[in-house]
Structure 1
């Protein structure tokens, strides 16, 4: 199967550079990378152009005008420009374990989508990574979710499980089949501002009779420290989520099909 890796980003080129460098170290490269850029400045475009000159696979820059936090639209634009049968999405602050792409691919099954975890790095260890490229070990300080550092294929087979809930949804580390995301019309672009767009997306996948695999001890991402986004739109976003839950919606109206002209 052809695999697309989609990376969201917004005005943090240092983190994006670290993420792209971790892509280059993968035991199994994706077939393409698409940067879902929510309106970054020209310095991000310059960085991507620099990588494009030597990147071993297609590296596509999908940019939209900066008009507030519009992650749903940004992801939909990138999905439309992608061509993979299987799509992995991460945030631009998630540095990848070297087996990351391979883990998602090995666990991909028809009728399922994948949610994997992350290790949260503190401010000091994030600064260390930027300075030296060093990643934490199980015994490092200044990290949260320490058990998520463990990569073990045997443990992964034992502890990964079906979990058809929206709890612990993190769109910073998910994967799904292209056909499935198109059938629900992608992310709901009614969401503007941080919060709940990923949970609502998961509910529609579950309402479409798909199963969620909660991937443990594999698909490891290292979440770089940053200040939290504004929650001022959360009340409105909660209402959109509740509408999807109460009406068992499978498809959003304001979604991926708006970008038909970009579909690969």
Structure 2
């Protein structure tokens, strides 16, 4: 199978550089990396163009205008554009361990999606990661939380990967689906904008469609770079969409992935191949 990695980003090119560099030195490379950009300024495009000539796999940049947080739309565009059979969703502040792709491949199973984990860093640890190329905190490092997720133990990972339908702990920062399963449920719900819950709603529809969840622990490791979060939004309207999806046992969302399939009937350009002068500044 071909693995596409969809990396969502917004105006943090320093973090994105670490993310792309980590994906470029995997023990098993993905087929392609798609950076899906929710309205970043020119610095992000400049970074990707600078990295593109020496990048080891197909590298794509999709950009949409900055019109508030539209993560669902950005991810759907990446899924629509993907040339792979299997989609690994990764946030643009998640630095993958060298066996990240190989582990995701090993745990891919038909009829399931995969929920990965992450190590959390504090501001000082993140600053060191951004300033020192190649530095990643280990189990005994200061300034991290959930340090058990620094341990790669594939034999133990198999015990955690038994399929189930539990709802807790859904997070799209490190998640993987078969592309045809995402097509079946129509991807992320674009009625959900602003902060959060679009991954929880997607997982609910995946369960309604008969998919099961496999938790990927002690494998496919990634370290999350610290930033401020809006996690504790009060009266989040996206919560009501999640509740409605569950109450009506919905499988497909109305505004989703199918809106973008015609745009990417032809695969978007691989930035390694296109001369810089011939590229448009953005692709909307």
> TM-score per shorter chain, which class?
over 0.9
CA deviations on 1:56-95 (whole Å, 9 max, x unpaired) are 1110001100000000000001111111000001000000
Cα distance in 1, alignment partners of residues 263 and 2 from structure 2: 18
Cα distance in 2, alignment partners of residues 222 and 229 from structure 1: 19
Aligned to 2:52: 52
Aligned to 1:259: 260
Query: TM-score under structure 1 normalisation?
Result: 0.97
Q: May I ask how many residue pairs the two structures share in their alignment?
A: 264
Contact 2:112–2:163 (8 Å) recurs in 1: no
Cα distance in 2, alignment partners of residues 142 and 261 from structure 1: 46
User: Structure 1's 227 and 204: CA in aligned 2 closer, same or farther, altered over 3 A?
Assistant: same
Contact 2:81–2:261 (8 Å) recurs in 1: no
Cα distance in 2, alignment partners of residues 190 and 7 from structure 1: 21
Aligned Cα RMSD in Å? Answer: 1.2
Contact 2:196–2:231 (8 Å) recurs in 1: no
Contact 1:192–1:233 (8 Å) recurs in 2: no
Asked whether 1:7 is paired with 2:32, we answer no
Q: Which runs of 5+ in 1 are unaligned?
A: none
**What is the DSSP-based 3-state SS (H/G/I as helix, E as strand, rest coil) of the residue aligned with 2:65?**
coil
Cα distance in 2, alignment partners of residues 222 and 120 from structure 1: 6
Query: TM-score under structure 2 normalisation?
Result: 0.90
Cα distance in 1, alignment partners of residues 218 and 212 from structure 2: 19
User: Structure 1's 12 and 234: CA in aligned 2 closer, same or farther, altered over 3 A?
Assistant: farther
Runs of 4+ in 1 over 3 A off after TM superposition: 229-234
Aligned to 2:186: 185
Aligned to 2:225: 224
Aligned to 1:22: 22
